[in-house]
Amino acid sequence: MGGQSGAACAYSTVRGGVVFLVARDATAAEEAYAPGWDATKPHALYSGTKSFWGVLAVAAQDDGLLALDEPVAETIVAWRNDARKRAITLRMLLTLSAGFGFGGLGNAVPTFEAALAVEPRNEPGTTFTYGGIPLQVFGAVLARKLVGRNQTPHGYLHERLLDPLGVRIASWRTLRDGSRPLPTGAFLSAPNWMRFGAFLLAQGRCGSHTLVRSESLALCFEPSPANPRYALGFWLVPERNAAYASGAGGQGLYVLPKQRILAVRFSSGASFRHEVLVRRLAEDADAVDDAR
């Protein structure tokens, strides 16, 4: 997998990739940069930002701050008078199966309060619908739970995960009320996203320190009943025992535990399929192993 000879790298490049990094066994195996790009240049993750929050949720559960299967209505009192909203759990929000319709993406991400006012379109837990509203509802719940700590959701994310991992966010988007969105908004360099991926591949460890118990982190990769290819902020490729975080335009963080592979891709937005890249990453690794 050295140089730029791998099929995965070739696929990324021909499909508009501007940065492509691959590591195997915690060692850099391949990297490619389009003109004007290098390892220091930040890029928008877009919806790749969602992957931080599933991991933070299981960490918060370990901390006793919340429970994945608790109803939102335990925290949001106004929801107790609505039968459909009363059935929505935090896990449903993170697996995008809470019943909200499509929307709340890109520049249309609502504030926490606006998201709480949106009415679900489907029975909670029955339908997977991609969108940003569920993450903003989760943010509203988390913000209320953090009041006693004088923290925001993003402050807790940094303190609990990103800072200990050495993940440096170059910038976050802000909404009209000055808050930062959860379903999108992070800008960072490829090596910084890679550090987060290395923690996932290490099953919650950072060096000799355990940040999140492996049993808890595994919950992030359990498929939901509404969509067997989506978990807590991560897309799943069951046939490859792999997972990835996905952002608009072909941004991706790929974790392949069986092959011990981690990869990051930034893109200019050309047509692209994450599942194809995952397959080619696995095949590149198998080819190297067969040649040994």
pLDDT tens-place string over residues 166-220? 999 999 999 999 999 999 999 999 999 999 999 999 999 999 999 999 999 999 9
> CB under 8 Å to 147, separation ≥6 — which residues?
none
How many CB atoms are located within 10 Å of the residue 58 CB? 22
Q: Is the pLDDT of residue 232 over 60?
A: yes
For residue 106, the number of C-alpha atoms closer than 13 Å in the C-beta half-sphere is: 5
What is the per-residue pLDDT for 1?
37
Task: Say what the pLDDT of residue 88 is.
Answer: 98
Per-residue HEC secondary structure of 202-237 comes to CCCEECCEECCCHHHHHHHHCCECCECCECCCCEEE
- Tell the residue number behind the tokens 């996203």, with chain if given: 193
pLDDT for the residue numbered 287: 87
| DSSP-assigned letter for residue 101 | P
Instruction: Give the Cα separation of 154 and 143 in Å (integer).
Output: 9
Q: Round to whole Å and give the CA distance between 276 and 273.
A: 5
How much is the average pLDDT of 75-93? 97
Q: CB of 236 within 8 A of CB of 220?
A: no
Q: Is the pLDDT of residue 52 over 60?
A: yes
Which pLDDT value is given to residue 247? 96
pTM of the model: 0.95
Instruction: Express as a percent the part of the chain with pLDDT over 70.
Output: 98
Average pLDDT over residues 105-132: 96
C-alpha 201/C-alpha 195 separation (Å) is 10
pLDDT recorded at residue 5:
59
Reported as a pLDDT band with limits 50, 70 and 90, residue 127 is very high
Average pLDDT estimate for 61-68: 98
Phi-psi region of 32 (alpha: psi -120 to 50; beta: other; left: phi over 0): beta
Q: Which residues contact 107 (CB under 8 A, 6 or more apart)?
A: none
Is the predicted pLDDT of residue 72 greater than 70, yes or no?
yes
Gap between the Cα atoms of 234 and 154, Å rounded: 19
Closest by CA to 250, choosing from 52, 45, 50, 49, is 45
221 pLDDT higher than 60: yes
* pLDDT for residue 112 is more than 80: yes
* Pairwise CA distance, residues 118 & 254, whole Å: 32
Gap between the Cα atoms of 95 and 292, Å rounded = 41
Element (H, E) at 264: strand 261-267
Across residues 117-130, what is the average pLDDT?
97
Cα 247 to its chain centre, rounded Å, is 9
Does 225 score more than 90 pLDDT?
yes
CB-based contacts of 282, cutoff 8 Å, min separation 6:
240, 242, 256, 258, 259, 261
